[in-house]
Structure 1
């Protein structure tokens, strides 16, 4: 089993109990009842030691991920470019957004949240700010705040023309594959999914699929949507969605998601998908491993699923990956049942 650690060797058990309480409340409260979990999150943030970005759903302290020197050098160069642009136009919303994004890429998620919060004070009607802050609240495990921000972003974009969102970390073809509204619904769906609210997740996923205009977006949305439908017992609808996925679809980024969908279809084997783990884990292997855990779960192998999710947590440098966050959520929800 996963060992709970802390900044003093062992996390105060009252904090672990508080984190567990947040999941109990999230699971048992009616929609919109977020006051208690918000209070829980606030108390945890106030008690975090310096240098800690988040406390995991299992009580671990999470510090900025280590980055290879060459990668960090590139990130720092772009961060400094964003700093210079912001110095020229400190109230410019685009400059503030890029400052927040470049800060987050360095693993400084709390600082990024502060930047977006300052920007919201200046530009309270700009949906992009809530979209990005919501994403980073998700990164630091503050699900209620993430959901509130992303719902606000959805309100602000309702009935408006969608727009392509520029990539902060461009893919190999330098082609953006997502839009503002896609990212709003995608991250909102994920926040609900991690919290175990699969009905709310599915509602957001349906909206996300409507604005998924690039094949990569379709594949990514379909992956989470299929798992959600299966967990809600919507077998026929899940199969119809799965049947729409073809191995020949041309994608740029969503390789892991496509491989997992093909595994669910029986067109990939377990051996095809197993990747590096532990300290060698990558974003893609973490993403894939979470899906493998769900594959075991859907086939009635709960112990195997938990074993895979436990192994994901050994790759601590990937703690901001959605697969890692989702694995944490699974194990935390299991612990409080």
Structure 2
């Protein structure tokens, strides 16, 4: 079934529709009314309601990118163009719409692993871990034996060089889903597979970090230390600086108290703060300092950056503690 133009008009209107009492802020280029809204997305692992609020001023570029993605799909109804609609919806925090778009792609392209990779990712965002695991496991079967497929960035890095690949993202997020459920053996297996498709230092650093933490959760400290031995402090890391610093801290080359030397209120540093914060909290947890760990995890929660993996992992730890 193909989406026609009138369907997309409804979809764009729905994206910015008022689901309660809201204040109209402005109109898009296509004259669709954009509301200042808060839309329920999920419940945290501690039972709190999580909402997305679209700011038509601050997120103007992301809104325009979504409209452009929709126009591209109307002109050429390909799998790639459909996936980009879902990705753009997710960048706006509308994971509900993104999952619906990816579900359409899964239905129309049942032999494709790419939409499963993206839907699984957004199931993680809304804490639906079992659904995410099913998607990633199916994607892993479908992509078995395929060549590495570089994944274009929706939010390019400082060098505008795409670093990740679809295979990496399937295994990486599958490992994370198992990690967040406390399935350490399954997480470890996923990260082993992920390391095989981590084709540059940025990807290797990100994989090693979660791999290391998984080993520590399992009490395998010696293996964990061996894993990160190849990491050197002069490595040229483009994207994953937060993971890089976490590993240098594990190796004793960065003092723990310096790890959070970032402004958690600055929009461009909030993700780094959350990522490094979870690593630091987990570090103190492995040292038996539960009070310090809880304090740091709570600081991560206080950022409100609830879609970040470090935030979800901090939720998981606090729920357990």
| TM band (smaller chain) | 0.7 to 0.9
Residue 166 (structure 1) aligned with residue 152 (structure 2): yes
Give me the whole-angstrom Cα distance separating, in 1, the residues matched to 2:314 and 2:69: 33
Aligned to 2:296: 308
Distance 2:256 2:224 in 1: 21
The residue aligned with 2:24 is none
More strand by share: 2
Large movers: runs of 4+ above 4 Å: 65-68, 278-281
Tell me which residue corresponds to 1:251: 237
Give TM-score scaled by structure 2 length: 0.85
Give the structure 1 partner of residue 320 of structure 2.
333
> Secondary structure of the residue that 2:250 maps to in structure 1?
helix
In structure 2, the residue matched to 1:130 is 116
Q: Deviations over 1:53-75 (max 9, x none)?
A: 111111111111566934x1111
TM-score normalised by L of structure 1:
0.81
| Equivalent pair of 1:205/1:221 in contact (CA under 8 Å) | yes
Tell me which residue corresponds to 2:255. 269
Unmatched runs of 5 consecutive residues or more in structure 1 = 1-49
Q: Does 1:60 align with 2:34?
A: no
SS at match of 1:228: helix
Distance between the aligned counterparts of 1:73 and 1:278, measured in 2? Answer: 21
1:188-236 deviation per Cα after TM superposition (whole angstroms, max 9, x unaligned): 0001111111111111000000100011000000011111111112122
Q: In structure 2, the residue corresponding to 1:54 is in which secondary structure? A: strand
In structure 2, the residue matched to 1:44 is none
Of Structure 1 and Structure 2, the greater helix share is in: 1
Distance in 1 between residues matched to 2:168 and 2:320, nearest whole Å: 27
Q: Distance in 1 between matches of 2:173 and 2:94?
A: 19
Counterpart of 1:43 in structure 2 is none
Q: Which residue of 2 aligns with 1:106?
A: 92
Partner of 2:16: none
Task: State the Cα RMSD in Å.
Answer: 1.6
Q: Could you tell me how far apart the structure 1 residues matched to 2:52 and 2:72 are?
A: 25
* Aligned with residue 278 of structure 2, among 276, 286, 290: 290
Counterparts of 1:185-264 in structure 2, within 5 Å, are 185-264=171-250
Aligned length: 282
Structure 1 equivalent of residue 164 of structure 2: 178
Higher relative contact order, structure no. (Cα contacts within 8 Å, ≥ 6 residues apart): 1
Q: Structure 2 stretches of 5 or more lacking a match?
A: 1-37
- The correspondence for 2:75, drawn from 85, 88, 93, is 88
